[in-house]
Amino acid sequence: MTGQKHLIECHCFLAQFRNKSNPPFHKFIVFSVIDDSDTIVPSYAQCNNCGIIHKIIDICRSEIIYGKEELKSIEKIDDVCLSLPNSIVDLLKNYNSQLSDYQYSRFIIENELWNSSFVLTSEIEGDKKTGKILKFIANDKFRVEPFISQVLI
């Protein structure tokens, strides 16, 4: 099994694009588990803009569940925090991380995928991308590392 963060496109748009003639649809990040046969384990996610429920059916693909504005089985950050070390919870809260980061952290720890990492924060300035990653070294051993990479335009 592997885990993957990916984008899902909703049918809503952000308020700042309301007056545009063709506003771009809102996208949000979700975390999915991919089983040994390279199939997404179906899950549900709630759009962080409009609140509509999506059934995740593949990488970057979902089906909107019409008529459901709430699904009690959708995981929340507080649910995931129960299975994470306090140091990771505190760190993710300090970086205002999304649910997908908490879920990915739990997946890495539970599956002992040491030396895995993901981006905590990043920004692009000119042709350089800088930021910080959270690296999982071993059980209860983590590190935040800065990075700089070249952006190809």
Instruction: Kindly state whether residues 50 and 111 are assigned to the same domain.
Output: no
Instruction: Kindly state whether residues 95 and 135 are assigned to the same domain.
Output: yes
Instruction: Kindly state whether residues 106 and 128 are assigned to the same domain.
Output: yes
Q: What is the pLDDT along the chain (153 residues), one digit of tens a residue?
A: 899 999 999 999 888 888 888 889 999 999 999 999 999 999 999 999 998 999 999 999 999 998 767 788 899 999 999 999 999 999 999 999 999 999 999 999 999 999 999 999 999 998 999 999 999 999 899 999 999 999 886
How far apart CA 127 and CA 6 sit, in angstroms, is: 24
On whether residue 24 sits in a domain, the answer given is: yes
Instruction: Kindly state whether residues 95 and 60 are assigned to the same domain.
Output: no
Instruction: Kindly state whether residues 7 and 37 are assigned to the same domain.
Output: yes
How far apart CA 103 and CA 83 sit, in angstroms, is: 10
Show the domain range for 100.
77-150
On whether residue 84 sits in a domain, the answer given is: yes
On whether residue 70 sits in a domain, the answer given is: no
* Model pTM score: 0.90
How far apart CA 102 and CA 17 sit, in angstroms, is: 29
On whether residue 72 sits in a domain, the answer given is: no
Instruction: Kindly state whether residues 105 and 131 are assigned to the same domain.
Output: yes
How far apart CA 87 and CA 25 sit, in angstroms, is: 35
On whether residue 122 sits in a domain, the answer given is: yes
Contact criterion met (CB below 8 Å) for 7 and 45: no
Instruction: Kindly state whether residues 59 and 85 are assigned to the same domain.
Output: no
Indicate the angle between helix axes 86-94 and 99-110, nearest 10 degrees.
150
For the chain, the domain total comes to 2
